[in-house]
Structure 1
Amino acid sequence: MSGLDPVETFRQEAQDLLEQVEQGLLDLARRPGDRTLVDAVFRGLHTLKGSGAMFGFDALAAFTHHCETAFDRVRKGEVPASPALVAAVLAAQDHMRALAEGRPVAAGAGEALLADLQAAVDGAPAPVVAAEPALNTFKIRFSLPADALVNGARPLPLLDELRDLGEARVRAITDTVPSLAELVPTECHLAWEVLLTTKHGRDAIDDVFIFVIDEMTLEVEDLTAVAEAAVETVIDVPAVEAAPEPANETRAKSGDTVRVPAERLDSMMDRVGELVIAQSRLKQLAGASTDMALRAVAEEIERLASEMRDTMMVVRMVPIQQLFGRFRRLVHDLERDTGKRIEMTTEGESTELDKTVIERLADPLIHLIRNAADHGLEAPEQRVAAGKSEAGRIHLAARQSGAEVVITITDDGRGVDRDRVRAKAEENGLIAPGQDLTDSELLQLIFAPGFSTAAAITNLSGRGVGMDVVKKTIEGLRGSLDIASTPGAGSVISLRIPLTLAIIDGLLVRVGAGRYVLPLSSVEECVELTTAQDLRSTGRNLITLRDELVPFIRLREEFATGTTPDPHQKIVVVSTGHERVGLVVDQILGDHQTVIKPLSSFHADVGAFSGATILGDGGVALILDIASLVGLGQRQDALLRAAG
């Protein structure tokens, strides 16, 4: 008996089917004559209806049936895949998602959506007369696994699906039913044989069983083909008695992917983190021992722990395509809301990120895309007057850069009006009138709380809420955000995001008696702060690195350690995007595999730290928030420049 909740399994599969249907509909909006897309949408709706009925989601099955019927008419050439029909099924798809998830729906919402669907179908051109397809005859034999009934599978809806395809004669096969004394009432021992005469092909039969085909036995014999060409029986999924090689290959391929609940991955990641901490402790003990055997075991455990960590990281990685795919629907809706024509393109969809990072990136990217559509792109007539194409373009791209992923959102719109940004910032008191700012600093004002240059409040923007949340979320991911813009040509917003939030490679440093970890991906270089440089920089913390002035922060003073500096202090230069700052520490202790532990709610708002980790000796080291410290260094430098 399976330990998985069959209802939850169906919901997961339903989400996949709804995602496939949505992507097919969005493609169909661009290519309404593509028969492959029409068939794909129909199969998705058909499977969702059948699976919903099988698992007791009767409201979902009944509602989906109407959408399936509409697309069946499209398949038959009776109505076209018009924009109105695609829009109606997209709206209906949102209702299906709510029904599948068990969320409450407004009274009459389903009826209103079906009325829109019927209006879209009725408003289509007259039917196209097509030749009546020839009838096919199939002999179908199938049986379900013994635990099918316990897991929620129901054979009667499958038989009803076959009857819907044409004329079906059904015979129950009782050969394997045990005696009453041995009968287990929760197990399925029946098989069924169906003689089906239908105008549909073999694919329609496969669609009936698509949700349970991996665990059942199915034999399909094309009697029409046998009569016409005397060909052999075709067996797609092997029976228990006979397992031909092609069928075995099919079954093997179906097991290549295993669906695992996310909480199990999180639990495994926690165990791997504890293993890394224990391995660090073992390494420290072995280093203090003269026992060579202990050292050898410690090195082997370190290698295995490192490999397990890397493997676990890979398991948690998912393609960013899962995230980018959601935004096609968003852009489709933005076209309707703004009255603009928008073309969205993507690049680097195979780039992978930790699943937790993917989930937390969704809202920031939605804000940025909406902002590009509403503020960035011009109306069609304005674009034509400016010599541009009528349709505006939004391009999403992702690429891996070391231990980070860089995501860019590019539009070819009007660009940022610097004068307007400055005027609004002065009006809001964010900057002093006439204050000297670099172009980067000016553009960063867009992400200040409450900042908006919109002329009017709309349902998309204008309230100054969103862009500051974007920045906070990205910095909460230990990432950074940069913006570049060319007036009249568009804007590019770049996000730099760490690959994972669970375990990082860090640089362990000492400040006073405390130990701290810096994410190694943010460290550029380490230099010595000589006594002469320390004395010269008093009052203005700047150091020259390759003809460039870099501000630095004395962490000993920032953290109020109350200790005297070491005679040989070090400056660790860190960066977020284009901004750099030096952090003065007393000692660099070396690299450290860092298992990130969240701070308590009491300490969560302390800006200088993003988490904590347990060291090999059982002590705790705080993880420095690089974005916060870089911002602090830049602000201190700006104040000194203004005063000096």
Structure 2
Amino acid sequence: MSKHFPGDDDDIIAAAREGFLEEAQDNLRQFEQGLLAMEQDPGDAEAVNSAFRAAHTIKGGAGLFGFQAVVGFTHEVESVLDRMRDGLLAVTEPGMALLLQGRDQMERLVHAVRDGTEGDAELEAISQRLGEQLRQLRGESAGPAAPASATAAPEDIPASNGEGDGVWHLSLRLGVDALRNGLDPMSFIRYLDTLGEVEGIRTLAEAVPELLLLDPEGCCLGFEIRLRSPADRQTIVDVFEFLQDDCELEVLAPDASAADYQRLLAQRAADEPAREALLAHWQALGMARLLEAPEPADSAPPTTADSPEPAATSVAPRPAAAPPRAEERRGGARDRRAGGEESRFIRVRADKLDHLIDLIGELVIASSGAQVAAQQERSTRFGEAAQRIHDLVQEARDGALGLRMVPIGETFSRFQRVVRDVSKELGKDVALQITGGDTELDKSMVETIADPLMHLVRNSLDHGLETAEDREAAGKPGQGTLALHAYHESGNVIIEVSDDGRGLNRDRILAKAVERELVSPDSVLDDEQVYRLIFEPGFSTAAQVTNLSGRGVGMDVVKRNVESLRGQIKVASTPGRGATMQIRLPLTLAIIDGFLTQVAGVSYVLPLESVAECIETPPGFMLGEHGACGCFDLRGEVVPYIDLRRSFGHDGPRPTRQSLIVVHSTDSRIGLLVDRLLGEYQTVIKPLGSIFQHLEGIAGSTILGSGEVALILDVPSLERLQIRQPRHLATSPIHTSRTAHPSA
């Protein structure tokens, strides 16, 4: 027999608790989305049911773990939604605003559970204040609010069917897989105390087999429970909704007759010994008088459509055609159980996934080393085996990276609340459109890009979109549109934030740049160069500082964060018609397809998706006498170039033939002059040590199959360093200041 360690149960409970907290965040998002959908369409029954299910799931999960502050407050929110769902309370703007405040308080309470600060006095005061407002909203007398940590007050629990505050009888039989499915029956029973008082309980262990036949993961228990509660039948049944697939529950109302108990006795007891055992449990619960003068089971009058609801209710097995209301209440839990879509998914710790990606990266390096060794040995069989390993490693790489890919739609959906709150604060009518939410991106990048997107969204709301009056005066619809769009393009993810507002004011931006000496007054700049000025540190055209903008802090940080992900950001604007901010990001940051080059014997890698073409130095190409950059003619287009040999200070003679790699830069194309082209190469990105992180133009390093280290180029940073001086727009634009050109 295995030895039981005292810490085992604590570890299991801690893991289950962490699972609840993670699931609570998902349910909070579902709750918020449901509320926002209700506000847009008050008649959307599915939105109301979705929000109700999310709140009820949070409340039920919190009750299982004894998080009473969460249970008590969520009950207040749930009660308002219940009345809205029944059509007893209208969906109004003040009501939705209060429910959204309630959602925020629920999140704070969940965070308090995670942080261990559940008893915070300020948090309890907020719960009391909001709880009182929620009771007033649903038409109940305001009175002093119960503490948030207390269970739901009896007067808040609905009573119906004339049952009143009586003693209910619950007969519960657990399924054999209840424990195996991770359910703790005692948690559900303890939760009954939130509905009233458990006056008596008997545990039925007659079905437990001998020790040698006992399945440690199987459940063979039953319970007979006496519950005094003013709650209605449905509220009591809902306590066990998470158990409904793993239990048989019979509920007898306080006014149940002796015949009802006799029918239950006949149902539960298959033979005379079982009957006597169950009767003994009932007598121990003080139920002897309920069994006096029993009526024959077959003498009960038939139930008709006009007959009152029966005193005894069975919830398992469920009828094939349950009422829609019951299905709505139970659907959320059932879908999450066995057979539902989510049963195909498992949660994996992020650090374990990162470790797997690291191992795949080492496999990529080892595979490259095997190919190099095969080439050196000039062995055909060795080369074929190395190539096969290479192909398998590449498949494993793609599969492992795919595990970290998540839809960006979850990030997009967070902005629904932001758009709602900010637009109301600014007095604007704004509709949010989301497309391409299923576009996948590396999880680490999704987390990093959320803040830049938040700033762009708030910036569009504050600066871009006009008030309804201004829009109508300009011949536009009164409601503005803010759009979030994502899609894949050439191995990159494109994210666009656009609006149909007033657009960027070119003259105002240029005047501000001249005022701040970012450009000279006689500069000749095209629109794209002017719009790039908004990313300069401290740049702002706002007339006054508000809590949203005006301090010149943000757009430069947006650009810096995007470029830290090896991304690029572009601006497009049409005066009077709106603006679009386009962010281009690589699919992943861990392992990329690279293009390997060499300069003075040193290897450099470029991200393959940024490479447009490779050409020999064109006829008449001449290096500038000074500096590491110049221009060349690419089929009639003047393109700037960077001489990597001079840029990185490599000495030694140049080869007689060099090549130009044309790459996509931030807003144009740029050439990189290298000595040799070595072709495509799977690149495992290794971060530089802290001592080298200040280096401009270098994004990281990788290890080649030969064991040598290659540096990964950061083209935007290199362009800023070599072509654009600190006051790069204080002179003429690049294409008019070429160093060498065939026609010169």
TM > 0.5: yes
- Superposed displacement of residue 163, structure 1: 8.4
TM-superposed deviation, 1:121: 4.9
Partner of 1:53: 63
Partners of 1:300 and 1:139 in 2: CA distance: 63
- Residue 174 of structure 1 corresponds to which residue in structure 2? 205
User: How many angstroms apart in 2 are the aligned matches of 1:236 and 1:253?
Assistant: 23
The AA in structure 1 aligned to 2:66 is G
Matched to 1:118, the amino acid is E
1:488 equivalent in alignment to 2:541: no
TM-score, length basis structure 1: 0.87
* Alignment partner, residue 402 of structure 1: 490
Partner in structure 2 of residue 242 of structure 1: none
The one-character-per-residue Cα deviations of 1:354-397 (angstroms, maximum 9, x if unpaired) are 11111111000000000000000112211121111222110000
Range moving further from structure 2, 343-352 or 48-57: 48-57
Q: Following TM superposition, by how much is the alpha carbon of 1:528 offset from its aligned partner in structure 2, in angstroms?
A: 0.6
**Pairs within 5 Å for 1:313-332:** 313-332=401-420
Question: Of the candidates 142, 157, 166, which is equivalent to residue 174 of structure 2?
Answer: 142
Which amino acid in the other structure matches residue 49 of structure 2?
D
Where 1:172 maps in the other structure, the secondary structure is strand
**Structure 2 residue matching 1:423: 3-state secondary structure:** helix
Pick aligned residue for 1:576 from 659, 665, 670 = 665
Partner of 1:293: 381
- One-letter code of the match for 1:337? E
Q: What is the aligned counterpart of 1:373 among 461, 467, 471? A: 461
The aligned residue for residue 595 of structure 1 is: 684
Structure 2 counterpart of 1:608: 697
Matched, 1:160 2:191: yes
1:82 matched to 2:111? The reply is no
Is the alpha carbon distance of 1:388 and 1:207 closer, same or farther for their aligned partners in structure 2, counting shifts above 3 Å? farther
Quote the residue 1:272 is aligned against.
Answer: 360
| Aligned with residue 39 of structure 2, among 29, 46, 61 | 29
* Alpha-carbon contact 1:551-1:633 (below 8 Å) kept: no
Going from structure 1 to structure 2, the CA distance change for 1:281 and 1:427 (only over 3 Å counts) comes to same
Report the alpha carbon displacement of residue 232 of structure 1 after superposing the two structures with TM.
Answer: 12
Partner of 2:344: helix, strand, or coil?
Answer: coil
Deviations 1:389-447 (A, max 9, x none): 22211000011002101111110111111111011111122111231111101000011
Once residues 153 and 250 of structure 1 are traced to their aligned partners in structure 2, the CA distance between those partners, rounded to angstroms, is 17
Verify the 8 A CA contact 1:143 1:192 in the aligned structure 2: no
Counterpart of 1:297 in 2: which secondary structure?
A: helix
Are the counterparts in 2 of residues 474 and 481 from structure 1 also a CA contact under 8 Å? yes
Q: Structure 1 residues 228, 255: closer, same or farther in 2, change over 3 A?
A: farther
Q: Which amino acid aligns with 2:122?
A: G
For 2:553, which of 457, 462, 465 is the aligned residue?
Answer: 465
2-structure distance, mates of 1:608, 1:94 = 43
Q: Please say if 1:111 is aligned against 2:159.
A: no
Q: For 2:486 and 2:342, locate their aligned partners in 1 and report how far apart those are by CA, in whole Å.
A: 30
Q: Is the 8 A contact 1:404 1:497 kept in 2?
A: yes
The one-letter code sitting in structure 2 at the alignment partner of 1:554 is D
* Alpha-carbon distance in structure 2 between the residues aligned to 1:470 and 1:232: 55
Maintained 8 Å contact 2:503/2:577: yes
Return the alpha-carbon distance in structure 1 between the equivalents of residues 734 and 392 of structure 2.
50
Distance 1:342 1:140, change over 3 A: farther
- From the superposition, tell whether residues 153 and 455 of structure 1 become closer, same or farther in structure 2 (CA, over 3 Å): farther
Q: Secondary structure at the match of 2:711?
A: strand
Compared CA separation, residues 141 and 80, structure 1 to 2 (3 A): farther
Distance 1:535 1:48, change over 3 A: closer
Contact (CA 8 Å) 1:342, 1:394: kept in 2 or not?
yes
Question: 1:118-155: CA deviations, max 9, x gaps?
Answer: 3355256899xx99789999975335868689x79462
**Partner secondary structure for residue 387 of structure 1:** coil
Q: Distance in 1 between matches of 2:37 and 2:625?
A: 61
The CA distance in 2 between the partners of 1:252 and 1:335, in whole Å, is: 38
2: CA distance between counterparts of 1:218 and 1:71?
A: 28
1:209-288 alignment, distance < 5 Å:
209-210=241-242, 217-219=246-248, 234=317, 250-251=338-339, 253-288=341-376
Amino acid across the alignment from 2:703? I
Are the counterparts in 2 of residues 220 and 233 from structure 1 also a CA contact under 8 Å? Answer: yes
* Larger displacement relative to structure 2 (625-634 or 36-45): 625-634
Aligned counterpart, 1:427 = 515
Specify whether residues 643 and 619 from structure 1 end up closer, same or farther in structure 2 by C-alpha distance, changes over 3 A only.
closer
Shift in Å, 1:58: 2.5
The 1:75/1:171 distance shift into structure 2, 3 A limit, reads farther
CA distance in 2 between counterparts of 1:236 and 1:308 reads 48
The CA distance in 2 between the partners of 1:134 and 1:392, in whole Å, is 52
**2:107: which partner in 1?**
97
Tell me if structure 2 keeps the 8 A contact 1:276–1:305: yes
The residue type equivalent to 2:174 in the other structure is F
Offset at residue 47 of structure 1 (A): 1.3
Is residue 638 from structure 1 mapped to residue 733 from structure 2 by the alignment?
yes
2:79 to 48, 56, 69: 69
Measured in 2, the distance between the counterparts of 1:37 and 1:48 equals 17
Paired residue secondary structure (1:429): coil
Q: Give me the whole-angstrom Cα distance separating, in 1, the residues matched to 2:54 and 2:315.
A: 31
Distance 1:206 1:614, change over 3 A: farther
Residue in structure 2 matched with residue 563 of structure 1 by the alignment: 652
Query: 1:488 is aligned with what amino acid?
Result: G
1:355 to 409, 419, 443: 443
Counterpart position of 1:586: 675
> Which residue is equivalent to 1:243?
none
Task: Describe the SS at the equivalent of 2:654.
Answer: coil
Letter in 1 for 2:351: E
Q: Report the residue type matching 1:62 in the other structure.
A: G
CA-CA distance at 1:486 after TM superposition:
0.9
Q: SS at the partner of 2:355?
A: helix
Report the Cα distance in structure 1 between the residues aligned to 2:316 and 2:180, rounded to whole angstroms.
Answer: 27
Rate the CA distance shift 1:535–1:555 in 2: closer, same or farther, 3 A.
Answer: closer
* Structure 1 partner of 2:277: none
Query: Deviation string for 1:276-318 (max 9, x for gaps)?
Result: 1111111111111133332232122111100000111211111
Q: Secondary structure at the match of 1:108?
A: helix
Post-superposition shift, 1:470? 0.4
Taking only aligned residues, the RMSD between alpha carbons, in angstroms, comes to 4.0
Quick one: structure 1 residues 499 and 158, their matched pair in 2 at CA, closer, same or farther if it must change by over 3 Å?
farther
Structure 1 stretch 446-455 or stretch 284-293: which is displaced more? 284-293
1:450-476 Cα distance to aligned partner (Å, 9 max, x none): 011111111100101111000001111
1:479–1:495 contact (8 Å) kept in structure 2? yes
The structure 2 residue matched to 1:415, chosen from 491, 494, 503, is 503
Question: Quick check: 1:146–1:189 contact (8 Å CA) kept in 2?
Answer: no
- The aligned runs of 1:508-523 (5 Å cut-off) are 508-523=596-611
Deviation at 1:75, TM superposition (A): 2.6
Between 336-345 and 393-402, report the one with greater CA deviation: 336-345
The one-letter code sitting in structure 2 at the alignment partner of 1:587 is R
Residues 343 and 208 (structure 1), Cα distance of their counterparts in 2 relative to 1, 3 Å cut: farther
Give the Å deviation of 1:177. 4.2
Deviation at 1:563, TM superposition (A): 2.1
**What letter corresponds to residue 564 of structure 1 in structure 2?**
P
1:319 to 1:138, Cα distance in 2 relative to 1, 3 A:
farther
2:659·2:677 contact (CA, 8 Å) conserved in 1? yes
Residues 297 and 382 (structure 1), Cα distance of their counterparts in 2 relative to 1, 3 Å cut: same
> Hey, what does 2:323 align to over in structure 1?
none
Kept after mapping to 2: 8 A contact 1:399/1:406: yes
Instruction: Quote how far apart the aligned CAs of 1:254 are.
Output: 4.7
The count of aligned residue pairs is 628
TM-score, scaled to structure 2: 0.76
Kindly indicate whether residue 354 of structure 2 is the aligned counterpart of residue 340 of structure 1.
Answer: no
